[in-house]
Amino acid sequence: MAFTVVSLAVFAPILVVIALAIKLDSPGPVFYSQERTAELGDTFPVYKFRTMLPDSESAEPEEDEDNDRITRVGRMLRKTHLDEIPQLWTILTGKMSVVGPRAVWTEEEPLLEPETKTWRKRWFVKPGLTGLAQIHDAKSTSPTTKLRYDLEYIRRQSFWFDLKIVARQIWQVAEDTVRFTASDESTGE
């Protein structure tokens, strides 16, 4: 809770700037909501900054680089992970944890389950904003690898292991942000 409250306070000014950038870049709402799977198959809404054109989502997992529905500002938000900031509110309300298996879109679950028979083992812990799969860049496009990391996290979870994952995630976000700002994408060239 302390991590979430401090993070929301620190990011408050940035939230306003991001909201304005989204509104100026494309029509539609600032926030995007999606039903995700929680513990024991329950569901809850996740809020993120909208990064795609309105009404253009697809349950089929795909790589961001191949997705032409992502807006210009949305691409920047995804590369710097700033689209995730609103999920801090979901953590504050108790639906998510800071660390845990990534909550999967409810419409994506039926596509991933047949590929990995033990997929539902992920449901035994609260989903997280970050986790072992995220810091190893395992995505839904590779469900077997993602599940392997999620199950490893469930076996090893502890306060200290969570701290290591959060520290590594913060480091990766910083690296991704520096890499993006130094790239041609950030300058529009």
| pLDDT at position 185 | 60
- What pLDDT score does 120 carry? 74
pLDDT value at residue 6: 87
Query: H helices within the chain, ranges in order?
Result: 2-25, 72-80, 87-92, 109-112, 132-135, 143-156, 159-182, 184-187
pLDDT at 167: 94
Residue 188, pLDDT score: 56
Q: Two tokens at 177?
A: 């942000």
Query: Which residue has 């900031």 as its token pair?
Result: 85
* Environment class of 6 (CB within 10 Å of its CB; exposed 0-12, middle 13-18, buried 19+): exposed
Structure tokens at 71: 């807006």
Q: The whole model's pTM is what?
A: 0.79
Contacts of 107 (CB under 8 A, 6+ apart): 35, 59
C-beta contacts of 105-113 below 8 A and 24+ residues apart: 105/34, 105/35, 105/36, 105/37, 105/59, 106/35, 106/36, 106/37, 106/43, 107/35, 107/59, 108/59, 108/61, 108/140, 109/37, 111/59, 111/60, 111/61, 112/61, 112/140, 112/143
For residue 14, what are the CA distances in angstroms to 79, 132, 136, 162? 16, 27, 27, 26
Q: Phi, psi (5° rounding) for residue 142?
A: -130, 75
Using the structure block, give the residue that is written with the tokens 């801090």.
88
pLDDT (tens place) for every residue of the chain, 189 residues total: 788 888 888 889 999 999 999 999 989 999 999 898 888 878 899 999 999 888 766 655 555 555 778 899 999 999 888 999 999 989 999 889 999 988 888 777 777 777 777 777 787 888 999 999 999 988 877 878 888 898 899 999 999 999 999 999 999 999 988 988 887 665 555
Residue type, 156: R
